[in-house]
Amino acid sequence: MPKLRLSGRLSIIPLGFFMVGGLLGCGYGFQGSGSVLPEDVKSVHIPQVGNLTPETKFTKQLTEALRDRFDRYGVVTVLESPARAHASLEANIQKIERATSTSTSSSDFALQNSITVNVAAVLKRRDTGQVLWSNPNLVVTKVYGASGNTVVTSAPTFSAGSLNAQDLNALNDREIARGQEKEVFGLISDQVAQQIYEQAVMPEF
């Protein structure tokens, strides 16, 4: 049997090399690690979001969520002055719909409320108007629930929000609904901003 001869020089490759290579090979990406935008697009201006609905409070929420999302990862710089920016991101709230469904069991009567938001967005070069990315109908829906006079505390939107079970006894149904809606619109704003950022800026792996 031939003997296996080993070279006297052993190359050591850091374990992190395999870990990173494996992650990239499996399709994982890291926010801030690249961009699908042209190399010369380094800054963006994000004006106040347009709103075709009477839900005026959502305008500010979504505008701030978009600016925060684009500014957070540093791939592009968010500028207040449109004249200095390489690109402009324009978003418009097209429609906001509410729906309520009911379900009953032997011991409970439950209300499931949902809010659906439709947003159109486009990213353009400021100088030429060339469209770099667009989505005419981005849709996000969040569901939250109520059971009798009490919010369903196991609902995802409840556990992610600022209300807690002890607060509910001091609130009436209308106050509870208003508080839940505020939390839901905050979650929707963040999700819309995340989807726009990932579609318009993040590289595809």
50, 58 contact by CB (below 8 A): no
Can you give the C-alpha Rg of the chain in angstroms? 24
pLDDT at 196: 97
Tell whether the model's pLDDT for residue 165 goes beyond 80: no
- Cβ atoms within 10 Å of 114's Cβ, excluding its own: 15
Model confidence band, residue 113 (pLDDT cutoffs 50, 70, 90): confident
Give me the residue spans of the domains in the chain.
37-200
Please return the burial class of 116, using the count of CB atoms within 10 Å of its CB with bins 0-12, 13-18 and 19+.
Answer: middle
| Arithmetic mean of pLDDT, 41-53 | 97
Cα 117 to Cα 97: distance, rounded to the nearest angstrom? 7
What is the fold of 37-200?
Answer: Double Stranded RNA Binding Domain (3.30.160)
pLDDT at 108: 55
Nearest residue to 30 (alpha-carbon basis) of 67, 71, 68, 73: 73
- Cβ atoms within 10 Å of 204's Cβ, excluding its own: 9
| H/E element, 151 | strand 150-151
| Arithmetic mean of pLDDT, 28-49 | 79
- The residue written with tokens 């969520």 in the block is 65
> What is the number of alpha carbons within 13 Å of residue 173 lying toward its C-beta?
6
CA distances from 124 to 71, 89, 135, 136, 182 (A): 17, 7, 12, 14, 31
